[in-house]
């Protein structure tokens, strides 16, 4: 009895063990079958964010991102001429650039108009203090073999760009100017100057004036070999002449010959001449002034010419008014023919061709005030 029971128990244990082994084999077979059905190149794998592999594929964020690079103001490339003008430093001249700009804004020099208006001679559009709006880039070779300084004559569009203004805005101003010229003609346009709607702000007009004044200074060095040895007022006078006349200054042969050959002659004669002596030689500069006094420019633009020529005086800084009186005594007024039914042109016409034509000398202003006082019985 005991053996049968033991044998029955062993047989039962055997069956249980066999069943367990069968289940284990079946589970292994199912696992292998599932592994064989998985596609090795699956493109739709979803990562488990809790798995270590998901950390490497998660987007990374820089705790201190670098600031974005600002977009350029203009897509147009900067020309070498513009780069040269933008490199200007206050130490390049002896005078304050702001003083020159203030003079050019004065009514007896360029004037100040915040809309495009026509040059009375050429009809080309100007704005601000006589800034030309449509000049092309021009070649201006240096013909003085003793002066290594070149000339810069970029286009109006390039100068506009150098001032940091939008080129599309310039084109819009030119388009409106053409419409006005077609409707009014040059003379009619100029009569409406005081009624024009501003097209630029004071700030923008000052930016244009600044870059144009820097160009004038740069080119003044091309006209005068010894520009750096001139006094502050003499440098300013020459820069003003370049600003007003541009490339036309090259026709002032006698004036240019005098301001350049003074130093050359001293070198040829082995005479030591320092810069201060050159700028302070009163007799020499009186001859230079006289060469300008005799020019047609001085007779046509008398008020402005008196102010500019006086700055060439070595003693100008001691008494600007006295220096202007000396030049005024030398300068003959322009001979203008009187038209029937119209008074003769006054000295108010003596302004820049691109100016408003309303400049008055300081002497005229004082005389006008005296007349007004007499009328009031003061």
Rounded mean pLDDT, 11-29: 51
The whole-angstrom separation of Cα 48 and Cα 52 is: 9
Q: What is the pLDDT of residue 355?
A: 37
Cα–Cα distance between 188 and 194 in angstroms, integer? 12
**pLDDT one-digit tens code per residue, 34-49:** 444 444 443 333 333 3
Indicate if the pLDDT at residue 153 is higher than 90. Answer: yes
> Do the beta carbons of residue 260 and residue 222 sit within 8 Å?
no
**Mean pLDDT of the chain, nearest integer:** 76
**How many angstroms separate the CA atoms of 11 and 192, rounded?**
125
Q: Which of 39-48, 87-96, 238-247, 256-265 has the lowest mean pLDDT?
A: 39-48
Using CA atoms, how far apart are residues 160 and 166, in angstroms rounded to an integer? Answer: 8
Average pLDDT over residues 14-40: 48
What pLDDT was estimated at residue 263? 53
pLDDT tens string 173-205: 999 999 999 999 999 999 999 999 999 999 999
Closest to 366 measured CA to CA, from 331, 319, 299, 321: 321
State the Cα angle at 73 between 71 and 75, rounded to 5°: 85
């Amino acid at each position: 009895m005991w053996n049968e029971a033991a044998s029955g128990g062993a047989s039962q244990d055997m069956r249980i063990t066999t069943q367990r082994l069968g289940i284990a084999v079946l589970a292994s077979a199912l696992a292998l079958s599932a592994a064989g059905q998985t596609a090795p190149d699956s493109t739709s794998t979803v990562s488990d964010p809790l798995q270590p592999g998901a950390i490497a594929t998660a987007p990374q964020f820089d705790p201190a991102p670098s600031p974005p690079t600002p977009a350029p103001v203009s897509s147009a490339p900067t020309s070498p001429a513009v780069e040269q003008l933008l490199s200007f430093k206050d130490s390049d001249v002896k005078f304050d650039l702001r003083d020159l700009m203030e003079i050019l804004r004065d009514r007896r020099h360029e004037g100040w108009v915040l809309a495009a208006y026509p040059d009375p001679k050429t009809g080309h559009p100007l704005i601000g203090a006589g800034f030309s709006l449509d000049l092309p880039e021009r070649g201006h070779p240096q013909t003085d073999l003793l002066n290594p300084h070149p000339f810069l004559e970029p286009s109006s569009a390039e100068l506009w760009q150098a001032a940091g203004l939008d080129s599309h805005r310039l084109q819009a101003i030119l388009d409106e100017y053409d419409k006005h010229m077609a409707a009014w003609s040059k003379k009619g346009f100029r009569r409406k100057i005081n009624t024009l709607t501003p097209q630029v702000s004071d700030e923008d007009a000052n930016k244009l004036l600044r870059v144009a004044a820097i160009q004038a200074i740069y080119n003044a060095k091309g006209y005068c070999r010894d520009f750096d040895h001139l006094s502050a007022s003499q440098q300013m006078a020459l820069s003003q002449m370049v600003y007003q006349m541009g490339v036309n200054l090259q026709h002032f042969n006698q004036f240019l010959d005098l301001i350049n050959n003074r130093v050359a002659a001293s070198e040829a004669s082995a005479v030591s001449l320092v810069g201060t002596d050159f700028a302070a030689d009163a007799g020499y500069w009186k001859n230079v002034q006289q060469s300008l006094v005799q020019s047609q420019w001085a007779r046509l633009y008398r008020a402005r010419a008196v102010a500019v020529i006086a700055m060439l005086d070595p003693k100008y800084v001691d008494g600007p008014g006295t220096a202007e009186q000396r030049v005024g005594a030398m300068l003959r007024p322009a001979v203008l023919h009187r038209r029937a039914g119209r008074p003769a042109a006054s000295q108010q016409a003596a302004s820049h061709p691109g100016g408003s034509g309303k400049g008055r000398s300081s002497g005229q202003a004082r005389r006008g005030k005296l007349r007004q006082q007499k009328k009031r019985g003061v």
